[in-house]
Amino acid sequence: KQEVTQIPAALSVPEGENLVLNCSFTDSAIYNLQWFRQDPGKGLTSLLLIQSSQREQTSGRLNASLDKSSGRSTLYIAASQPGDSATYLCAVWSGSSNTGKLIFGQGTTLQVKP
């Protein structure tokens, strides 16, 4: 059974700091891994999607890496800003090539202080 874990559960950093969020999964047979952002009481915004054949994806100040063999992914946020404060969720696609589901971690709640 696939399980996804995110550490730490919460993180508080001063503005401008570079930071890393961690995600681990127990079954390396994944199709992809996706990072999401969730603001309080809101839906999920997709940040980055890494296919199983890829090692990393970049979007602006965000960089996500994937190491399937070790069951780990990291989300790197450069030069953090107060507007980055949110909960960050990682999810892996579990199933087959035409039916499946996202299995989510519990999220890391990030606070960036001005």
Partner 1 sequence: DAGVTQSPTHLIKTRGQHVTLRCSPISGHKSVSWYQQVLGQGPQFIFQYYEKEERGRGNFPDRFSARQFPNYSSELNVNALLLGDSALYLCASSYRDRPTDTQYFGPGTRLTVL
Q: What is the DSSP string of 54-77?
A: -SEEEETTEEEEEETTTTEEEEEE
Structure tokens belonging to residue 20: 């890393």
Nearer to partner 1, 49 or 62 (CB): 49
- Member of 43, 60, 83, 114 binding partner 1 (CB under 8 A): 43
Exposed, middle or buried by CB within 10 Å (0-12, 13-18, 19+), for 44? Answer: middle
101 binds partner 1 (CB under 8 A): yes
Determine if 99 is a binding residue for partner 1 (CB under 8 A). yes
Count CB neighbours of 3 within 10 A: 12
Of the ranges 10-18, 33-41, 58-66, 76-84, which one interacts with partner 1 (CB under 8 A)? 33-41
Kindly list the residues in this chain that would bind partner 1 in the complex (CB under 8 A): 4, 31-32, 34, 36, 41-46, 49, 51, 89, 91, 93, 95, 97-107
